[in-house]
Amino acid sequence: MMENISKIVIEKNEGRRIGYVLKYVLDFETKTKMGYCVVDDETENEFFLQNKNIVAISDDFLLVDDISALEVVSDFDDGLLGKTVVDEKGFCFGEVVDCVFVGKRLSKIVTNCCELPCRSIKKIGKDFIFVGGKKKRRSSTFNFLRQNDERVVKVQEEKVLTGQQLNPEKVRLSSTYYVGRVVDEDIMGYNNEIIVLKGEVVTPAIVEKAKRHNRLNQLFFALKK
């Protein structure tokens, strides 16, 4: 689970809830965590909260002195979650599902196939992360991934034989497909906060929140047929 993601941000001076932590903000050059992107619960506007402006962190909350601790930023980086990891030959290492930090510095990325040390990252782009490393280490990782892929294929074949439904790896539909339709089950975010409740009608804001939390697949299969 991503550290501090989805925790509630509280303003100490007024004792007021400001919003929740959506994601960390990473300096791609130094691979250090600069702070967090905080979303206002009512407006869905996003703000930047620098590490230096956080006065306390607990299991449930991040505390700031007042609302001025949050900065208005027009364009945030996309973070690393959901990006596809490939090497210079185009070999895929899966999609990023978690990041591990030691202090403020990124230590490793975790994909749905493997874990990769920060030092292997060569470039971070909008949709892809390029990695590289020593030939021996890369070969051993490839072998692990191929074995893992074979295991997944075997499991999928077993599901087909037993009549179990297989979900597509990624649902890619226009946002308009979801809007106005009714959800048939609750969908939760990274830290089990509610994105949408059973029986709710999907709005554009709900679709955007599902995208941010990498929950479009769940949203698709939760729609009433």
Measured distance CA(97)–CA(146) in Å, rounded: 19
pLDDT at 74: 63
Beta bridge partners of 194: 188
Measured distance CA(215)–CA(178) in Å, rounded: 13
pLDDT at 54: 93
Q: Which residues of the chain are modeled with pLDDT < 70?
A: 1-2, 74-78, 133-175, 225
Measured distance CA(67)–CA(185) in Å, rounded: 35
* φ, ψ of residue 143 in degrees (nearest 5): -60, -40
The CATH architecture that domain 175-222 belongs to is Alpha-Beta Complex (3.90)
Beta bridge partners of 128: 84
- pTM score, whole prediction: 0.50
Q: Which two tokens stand for residue 3?
A: 């550290």
pLDDT at 159: 41
| CATH 2.30.30.240 residue ranges for the chain | 78-134
pLDDT at 134: 60
In three-state secondary structure terms, 149 is: helix
| CATH 3.90.105 residue ranges for the chain | 175-222
> Top-level CATH class of 78-134?
mainly beta
- List C-alpha distances in Å: 212 to 81, 163, 166: 9, 32, 24
8-72 belongs to CATH 2.30.30:
yes
